[in-house]
Amino acid sequence: MEETIAGAPNSQMTGQIPQQRGETLLETAVRYAEERHWDVVPGTWLEAADGRQHCSCGDVSCSAPGAHPARPDWPTQATGSATVARRMWQKQPTASILLPTGRTFDALSVPESAGFLALARMERMQLTLGPVTLAPDRRMQFFVLPGGCAKVPELVRKLGWSLSSLDLAALGEGSYVAAPPTRFGSRGAVQWACRPTPANRWLPDAEELISPLAYACGRDR
C-alpha cells in the first residue's frame, strides 16, 4: 500500500510498492478497513490560504497540520466497516487517515534514527516484523499485538532501563497512528518503512521487539 522507504535494511522491508496513481485518501482508507481489518477515522485536513497550507483545526502553530483528530470524540467515530469508511471520506475527501491503537494493534513509537538502527538489529536477529510507519515528524511506529503497551514499562525495566529515560512511547487505547499517505503540512507524507503484506498480517508481541528498540533508543540518547 502506497510508498515504502528506499534504503531500509533488507528486501522484505524495501520491496518498492508501485504508487497507486490516482488512488484517493478515500480509496486507501477503504482498503485499510477491507484488507487489514483496521479501524479508521478521518482526521483534520489541509486548507490552502495565502499561498500556504494550513491545518483545518485553525491553529497556525499546529504541530501536526492535517494529521491529527478533528474532533474530541474521534475514538467513537472510528470504524472497521469499509462501507462506513467510504461514507465518512465522501463527506471530507481530503481528511487524513488515522488508525486508532489499542484495537487491532498497539504501536511502539521511537525516533527515526533509533528506528532504523533497530530495524538493522532486528534483521540480524531474524525477527518477523509487522508494519512500520515513518512520519514526517521523524518518528517511526512499530505495529504490535494489542495489549502490548501495558507490558512495556516492566519489559524495559527488566532490560535495565527506565521508560522515562528512553524516547520510546507505547501507543495503546486512546492513541492513534497517522497512516500513509497522510501529509503533515509541507513536511511531507507518512510512508511505510515496512509495508503491510500477507506475511505480516500476524503481528509480533511487544516483548519480541522491545529489546532492539530499547537498545537503539539508549544508543540514540
Q: What is the pLDDT of residues 184-199, one digit of tens each?
A: 998 999 999 999 999 8
Is 50 exceeded by the pLDDT of residue 211? yes
pLDDT in tens, 72-129: 999 999 999 999 999 999 999 999 999 999 999 999 999 999 999 999 999 999 998 9
- Nine-digit cell string for 57: 483545526
**Share above pLDDT 90 across residues of the chain, in percent, rounded to a whole number:** 80
Is 90 exceeded by the pLDDT of residue 15? no
DSSP run (H or E) holding 49: strand 46-49
Model confidence band, residue 8 (pLDDT cutoffs 50, 70, 90)? very low
Rounded distance, CA 174 to CA 75, Å?
A: 7
Closest among 96, 83, 93 to 30, alpha carbons compared: 83
This prediction has a pTM of 0.89
